[in-house]
C-alpha cells in the first residue's frame, strides 16, 4: 500500500526505510502459502508416521510381557 501512496522513488526518499516493512509484508503471504502447502504434506506424513508408530508401540507392548526390563519401565511410568 505504501508504494501506491508515495509517487517518489523509494530509493531516493526516506520512505525507503518505511518501504522495507511493506516489502516484507508482501513476501510473508508468499512464504505462508508455501508453508501451508508444505504443512499439509507434513501433517499427512506425521499422521502416517503416528499410525505406524502406534502399531509398533502396540506390538512392542504385546511382546514386552516376555521382557522383564520393559515391564519394569512400564510400571515406573504408571507411578
pLDDT in tens, 10-69: 455 555 555 555 555 555 555 555 555 455 555 556 666 677 777 777 777 676 555 556
Residue 1 has pLDDT above 60, yes or no: no
Positive or negative: CA dihedral 10, 15, 16, 18? negative
Q: pLDDT value at position 5?
A: 55
User: Which three cell numbers, joined as nine digits, stand for 66?
Assistant: 516376555
* pTM recorded for the entire structure: 0.21
Return the higher-pLDDT residue of 72 and 56. 56
* Domains identified in the chain, total number: 1
Query: Which pLDDT value is given to residue 42?
Result: 55
- Residue 47: domain span: 2-78
SS (H, E, C) the chain: CHHHHCCCCCCCCCHHHHHHHHHHHHHHHHHHHHHHHHHHHHHHHHHHHHHHHHHHHHHHHHHHHHCHHHHHHHHHHHC
Amino acid at each position: 500500500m505504501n508504494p501506491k501512496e508515495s509517487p517518489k522513488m523509494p530509493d531516493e526518499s526516506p520512505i525507503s526505510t518505511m518501504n522495507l516493512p511493506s516489502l516484507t509484508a508482501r513476501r510473508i503471504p508468499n512464504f505462508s502459502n508455501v508453508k501451508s502447502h508444505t504443512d499439509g504434506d507434513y501433517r499427512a506424513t506425521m499422521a502416517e508416521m503416528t499410525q505406524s508408530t502406534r502399531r509398533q508401540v502396540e506390538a512392542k507392548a504385546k511382546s514386552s510381557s516376555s521382557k522383564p526390563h520393559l515391564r519394569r519401565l512400564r510400571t515406573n511410568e504408571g507411578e
